[in-house]
Structure formats: structure tokens, C-alpha cells
């Protein structure tokens, strides 16, 4: 059966709940314009824009029920949804706290109105949500079926999950996870087993996160990297051996041996899969030998529950940032750098970065914070020969310094943010923004993130990709 989930960016959800529950114990209404993501895991509806119905003007006493949206309001909003290729969902509230459901009058109104709305919105889907203070129920109408809403997810630093009624907290889990279940509970361990995580880049940082996530009991990992091991990066990748890197061939002077070693060296994602399966034999592991900047590869990540970026090209940053905002995915970028003074050759100031990116304005958008260089994007789009002609590559033998310990410093906060945020255990007023660590000073620094209302990723202007899901194009290359 096709499972249906509704995903909200946290600020939009807070605004909606504030409108529905102002403290007067009355019923209020609104409409959500949503994008959609369809995959093998089911359907995700992605809240993009909120239309608040004014009491007594747009939301009035109904002929067949207590309250109803006016025909003018429905026509105006549904036409906007049709023009922008978005889905229409009517919203109202009922009393109560932890359980909610549609009344018989609600269900009759759906039958009267939604077939016509499917035509107006060019096939929808359309539907309705009903809220209690801590519960959400819904029905989704398509051309072929009417589906119940399985759950609602609010995406923010703390992930909130809502259902139509409380779920049972009794779950069986493998006793090897007993110690961590003392923090997250048996239901939490069960949730990890159902969780799908994406990792872009399985080098020094990605390989660490890969092993940690597998040991935590994550149910599925989608790992994307096109690179093979070599002797220079083998020491920084957990579980990698000299045989995997073909060190005995690649360190020979004779070029045929080196070419053979390059051909026989294992792909990083294949080493990562071996490490993950040793840590957790029950994990479902998808090792993708590919480049996330290609559309068919990037789309394999559109339905993950959390996304880690551990590759440092501008194009990878662009695609990661687009996935986060277009499909309402929580994510984080990690990295480390050891700058070298070009004149003296001395180390300047090694540092690590951990950049959480949430799908809403001021959520850490890499584009708004000028962390995706247009010049670097242009450089990376050139062929190797073109880069050499334009002097982008001065010396192909120069390799940036790197340490597994620096990678670990960047990855640890990212993994902890994922865990504690995924179970809504971060402090309510946790400070947003990026973290930097300057190891020579033993100093952590917090960097505030900015937002641009006109941003094509996190903004909600008509041309933006925010929460459009499958109804917008990712900024990728095609083969």
C-alpha cells in the first residue's frame, strides 16, 4: 500500500498551529499549497505555502457543518495551486490533544468538493488535514483512490512526528542496542531501524559517519561516491586495507603497474558497504558508484530521512542544498581544511566545519551564506583540459593536507545533532548556525547563518524550488 506522509518546515508549522489554536477553543481554517515526492517508500506531500483563512470572511458558518471555507477563498487558492503546479490541502482544527479524526460532516464535504478540485488543480492530488494540538489526521484524493495520511513530520533542529492517535511504545529490538535504548527508548531504536540516511562522499569524513550510523542500527544507507581508494587516502578511511588501495602496485615506478593498480583499487562506497555490513548485518545498503551532480544519481536521495554532505566540490554543495530545500530534508555539511601559506609553506590555521542545513529561511542555506562559489561552479564545469588551459590547475601533484582526527572532530557534532534532533532531544532554544573548531587554539566558534528572501532554494518566490519536490528540476547535469 502507498504510505502517505505530510512534511512541514518548522516555521510554517508553527504559524499554522498558532492560527488554528489562538486560545479561543473555536474552529479555524486554512489551506496549504504543497509539492510532492513520490518514490518506492511512498508519497510525501511537502508544505510550501500557507493561506490563512480569516474568520468570518474566508471561514464562515457552513450549510452542512459547523464552519466552511468560502467558495471565493477556495477558488482563489486552488487556482493559484493550479498555476504553480502545487497540491491543494484544506486544513481545520478540532478540540482535543492527542487524537483527532474527521467528522461525518467533514467526510461528506470531501465527497462533494474534492472531485471538482482535482479537475481545477489538473489532477492534484488534493485533500484535507484536521489538527488537534498534538495530532493530525488526513485524507488524500487522487484520480484513482482516496488514501489516509499515515503520519506528519515537522522538519527542524528537532524533528517532530504526529499521528492521528498515540502509537504504542512497546517495540522489540536487538539487545546489542540496550545501552543506547536507555537514551532513545525501544521505540527510538525501532525508528532508527526504519530510517533511511544518505551520505554524499565516502572519503575521510563520510566513511566515519558511515561506520557510526551502521553501528547505531540505521535501517538503510544510500552512499554515493565515484572515486576509488589510493594509498594516500587509505589511512583516513576506516576498514580500508592496503590491498583495497592496491598500494603495492600504485607505489611502483613502472606505469603499467600503476594503471593496473588504479583499475583494481576498490571503490570507496564498496569498502563503506563492507564496513557497514560488518557493523550491522541487517542494514540495507545501497552503494552507488556515481556522481551526485548527475540527476539520476541525485534523485536516489530525494526520499531519505537525513542527508550528510561529506564532499567539498561546489557542485556537490549546490545539489545537496537543493535536495534539502526542494524535498524538505534535514541535512548537514561537514569538512576540514589545513590551509598552507603559499609563500612560506607553513600551516596557517587548521579548522573543521559542521554546518546543519534545515529547509527553511535562516535554516543554514549554503546558497544564502555564500558557501557555493559561482566561480568554482564554473571551474568545475570545465573539462580537465579546459581547466589546465585556464590555469586552474597549477600542479596536479599538489594534494591538500588532511587528517582523520580532523575529520572526526567535524563528524562528531554532525552525528550528535542528527541523533538528538531526530528524537527531538535538543534543547528547545538551541542556538542555530554553524560550528567551527580551530584545533591549534582548542577553540570552538559559532557562526550565525543568514537568509535571503529572494533565494531560489530556501525562498518562497514563485521561481524557487522550495518544497516543490518532483514538480521542480534539481540543478543537476544530465547524461
CATH architecture of 4-162: 3-Layer(aba) Sandwich (3.40)
Q: In Å, what is the CA distance from 423 to each residue of 36, 261, 370? A: 25, 45, 30
**CA separation for the pair 367, 347 (Å, rounded):** 29
Residue 385 has pLDDT above 80, yes or no: no
Name the least confident of 162-166, 282-286, 367-371, 397-401: 397-401
244-250: average pLDDT: 71
pLDDT of residue 174: 77
Per DSSP, the residues of 357-389 read: E-SSTTS--TTTTT-S-HHHHHHHHS-HHHHHH
Per DSSP, the residues of 128-153 read: EEEEETTEEEEEEE-SS-EEE--EEE
Q: Is 326 exposed, middle or buried (0-12, 13-18, 19+ CB in 10 A)?
A: buried
**CA separation for the pair 188, 199 (Å, rounded):** 21
Residue 208 has pLDDT above 50, yes or no: yes
Question: Per-residue confidence at 263, pLDDT binned at 50, 70, 90?
Answer: low
Antiparallel, parallel or unpaired: β 284-288 and 220-224: parallel
Nearest by Cα to 475 from 387, 345, 374, 340 = 374
**CA separation for the pair 355, 267 (Å, rounded):** 27
Note the pLDDT tens digit of each residue in 301-332: 999 999 999 998 999 999 999 999 999 999 99
Give the bridge partners for 130, in sequence order: 92, 137
Helix (H, G, I), strand (E, B) or coil at 61: strand
pLDDT of residue 393: 45
How does DSSP classify residue 299? G
Per DSSP, the residues of 216-264 read: HT-SEEEEE--PBP-TTTGGGSTT--HHHHTHHHHTSSSHHHHHHHHHH
Contact call for residues 121 and 88 (beta carbons, < 8 A): yes
Note the pLDDT tens digit of each residue in 108-155: 999 999 999 999 998 889 999 999 999 999 999 998 899 999 999 999
Question: What mean pLDDT is reported for the chain?
Answer: 90
Contact call for residues 221 and 197 (beta carbons, < 8 A): yes
Question: Residue 232: which residues within 8 A CB-CB, separation 6 or more?
Answer: 399
pLDDT of residue 386: 53
| Cell 559517519 found at | 209
Residue 377 has pLDDT above 50, yes or no: yes
Note the pLDDT tens digit of each residue in 69-88: 999 999 999 999 999 999 99
Question: Per-residue confidence at 442, pLDDT binned at 50, 70, 90?
Answer: very high
What are the sequence ranges of the domains in the chain? Answer: 4-162, 175-227+267-447
pLDDT of residue 422: 96
HSE toward the beta carbon, residue 62, CA cutoff 13 A: 15
pTM for the model: 0.94
Domain 175-227+267-447 coded CATH 3.40.50.720: yes
Give the bridge partners for 90, in sequence order: 31, 128
**CA separation for the pair 70, 30 (Å, rounded):** 11
Residue 66 has pLDDT above 90, yes or no: no
| Cell 518532483 found at | 470
Antiparallel, parallel or unpaired: β 331-337 and 351-357: antiparallel
pLDDT of residue 395: 42
Amino acid at each position: 500500500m502507498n504510505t502517505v506522509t505530510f512534511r512541514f518546515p518548522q516555521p510554517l508549522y508553527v504559524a499554522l498551529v498558532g492560527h488554528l489554536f489562538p486560545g479561543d477553543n473555536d474552529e479555524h481554517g486554512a489551506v496549504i499549497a504543497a509539492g510532492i515526492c513520490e518514490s518506492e517508500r511512498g508519497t510525501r506531500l511537502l508544505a510550501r505555502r500557507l493561506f490563512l483563512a480569516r474568520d468570518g470572511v474566508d471561514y464562515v458558518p457552513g450549510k452542512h457543518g459547523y464552519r466552511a471555507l468560502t467558495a471565493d477563498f477556495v477558488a482563489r487558492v486552488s487556482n493559484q495551486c493550479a498555476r504553480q503546479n502545487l497540491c491543494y490541502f484544506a486544513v481545520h482544527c478540532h478540540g482535543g490533544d492527542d487524537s483527532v479524526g474527521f467528522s461525518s460532516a467533514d467526510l461528506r464535504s470531501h465527497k462533494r468538493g474534492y472531485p471538482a478540485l482535482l479537475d481545477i488543480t489538473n489532477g492534484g492530488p488534493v485533500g484535507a488535514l484536521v489538527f488537534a494540538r498534538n495530532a493530525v489526521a488526513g485524507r488524500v484524493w487522487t484520480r484513482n483512490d482516496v488514501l489516509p495520511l499515515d503520519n506528519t513530520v515537522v522538519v527542524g533542529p528537532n524533528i517532530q512526528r504526529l499521528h492521528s492517535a498515540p502509537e504504542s511504545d512497546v517495540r522489540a529490538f536487538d539487545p546489542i542496542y540496550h545501552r543506547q535504548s536507555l537514551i532513545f527508548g525501544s521505540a527510538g531504536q525501532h525508528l532508527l531501524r526504519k530510517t533511511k540516511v544518505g551520505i554524499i562522499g565516502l572519503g575521510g569524513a563520510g566513511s566515519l559517519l558511515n561506520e557510526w550510523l551502521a553501528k547505531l542500527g540505521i535501517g538503510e544507507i544510500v552512499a554515493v561516491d565515484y572515486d576509488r581508494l589510493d594509498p594516500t587516502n587509505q589511512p583516513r578511511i576506516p576498514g580500508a586495507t592496503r590491498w583495497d588501495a592496491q598500494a603495492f602496485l600504485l607505489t611502483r615506478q613502472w606505469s603499467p603497474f600503476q594503471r593496473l593498480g588504479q583499475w583494481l583499487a576498490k571503490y570507496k562506497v564498496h569498502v563503506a558497504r563492507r564496513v557497514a555490513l560488518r557493523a550491522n548485518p541487517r542494514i540495507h545498503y545501497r552503494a552507488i558508484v556515481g556522481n551526485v551532480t548527475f540527476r539520476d544519481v541525485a534523485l536516489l536521495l530525494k526520499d531519505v530521512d537525513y542527508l550528510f554532505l561529506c564532499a567539498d566540490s561546489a557542485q556537490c554543495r549546490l545539489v545537496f542544498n537543493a535536495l534539502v530545500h526542494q524535498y524538505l530534508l534535514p541535512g548537514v555539511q561537514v569538512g576540514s581544511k589545513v590551509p598552507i601559506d603559499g609563500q612560506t609553506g607553513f600551516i596557517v590555521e587548521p579548522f573543521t566545519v559542521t554546518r546543519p542545513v534545515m529547509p527553511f529561511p535562516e535554516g543554514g542555506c549554503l546558497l544564502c551564506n555564500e558557501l557555493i562559489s559561482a566561480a568554482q561552479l564554473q571551474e568545475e564545469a570545465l573539462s580537465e583540459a579546459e581547466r589546465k588551459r585556464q590555469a586552474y590547475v597549477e600542479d596536479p601533484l599538489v594534494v591538500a593536507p588532511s587528517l582523520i582526527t580532523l575529520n572526526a572532530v567535524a563528524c562528531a557534532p554532525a552525528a550528535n545533532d542528527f541523533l538528538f534532533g531526530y528524537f527531538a532531544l535538543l534543547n528547545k532554544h538551541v542556538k542555530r548556525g554553524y560550528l567551527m573548531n580551530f584545533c591549534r587554539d582548542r577553540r570552538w566558534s559559532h557562526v550565525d547563518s543568514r537568509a535571503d528572501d529572494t533565494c531560489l532554494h530556501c525562498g518562497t518566490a514563485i521561481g524557487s524550488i522550495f518544497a516543490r519536490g518532483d514538480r521542480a528540476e534539481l540543478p543537476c547535469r544530465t547524461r
